[in-house]
Amino acid sequence: MKTIHYILLLAMILCWAGCDDDKGENSPLPVIVPEPEETIQPGEVDPKARLKTVLSFTGTDDNQYVLTLLDPKKPQEGANLITAYIHRQKEDKSYALVKTFKLKIDPRMPSMGNHASPNNVDLTWDDSNKVYHGTVNFSMTGYWKINLILLNEAGEIIQGNAVTGEEKASSIYFEIEV
């Protein structure tokens, strides 16, 4: 029970620290709280807890960024809605939601020779839902890396790189188990 109180306290502190974006609006924060059916009992380790779903890095513009994967929470074979937040650190050390970037995706399955999957749609800002969204397609079950390239409004790379024969993964990626 103490753990739940600590999680809630941490969430409240983070909300208080980053409530404002540049326009004074409330800003969603990169805080992940387990859903009730996903609660882990003491002594158990959730294997999905080891997957990368929150990334923090310095961009080529010398700003600090946090990328947070929201969905899919329960990915399936085929097309899945993918949603995420992009936050940038402000001078006062709080984080503001960035609404003008693009997040290119390239899902790969390392255990299958870095097999790619077609028909993906890069993430762009959806003002009506206040989240970045796109489509990610998984052609089979198993472990996937969703390689990312973060682009600013001018189309310049902030972080990430294309997957090539020599580069097996981007410098930033989310991990998913389908």
CA-to-CA distance for 150 and 137, rounded, in angstroms? Answer: 19
* Banded model confidence at residue 94, pLDDT cuts 50, 70, 90: very high
Q: What is the pTM of this model?
A: 0.74
**Residue span of the structural domain in which 143 resides:** 46-177
Report yes or no on 156 lying in a domain: yes
Q: How does pLDDT run across 11-45, given as a tens digit for each residue?
A: 444 444 444 444 444 555 555 544 444 554 555 54
Type of residue numbered 126 = D
What is the number of domains present in the chain? Answer: 1
* Residue 76, domain member (yes or no): yes
- Residue 130 falls inside a structural domain: yes
| Residue at 101 is within a domain | yes
Output helix, strand, coil percentages for the chain, rounded to the nearest 5.
Answer: 15, 40, 45
Of 49-53, 99-103, 117-121, least confident by mean pLDDT is: 49-53
Decide if 124 is inside a domain.
yes
In a domain, 92, yes or no: yes
Is 6 contained in some domain? Answer: no
Percentage with pLDDT > 90 across the chain: 71
The string of pLDDT tens digits covering residues 52-69 is 999 999 999 999 999 999
Q: What is the structure's pLDDT at 9?
A: 41
Closest to 30 (Cα-Cα) out of 100, 122, 98: 98
Residue 129 is assigned to a structural domain of this protein: yes
CATH for 61: 2.60.40
- The set of residues, in sequence order, having a beta carbon less than 8 Å from that of 27 and lying 6+ positions away, is 18, 19, 20, 21, 87, 95, 96, 97
Does an H or E element contain 58, and which?
strand 54-58
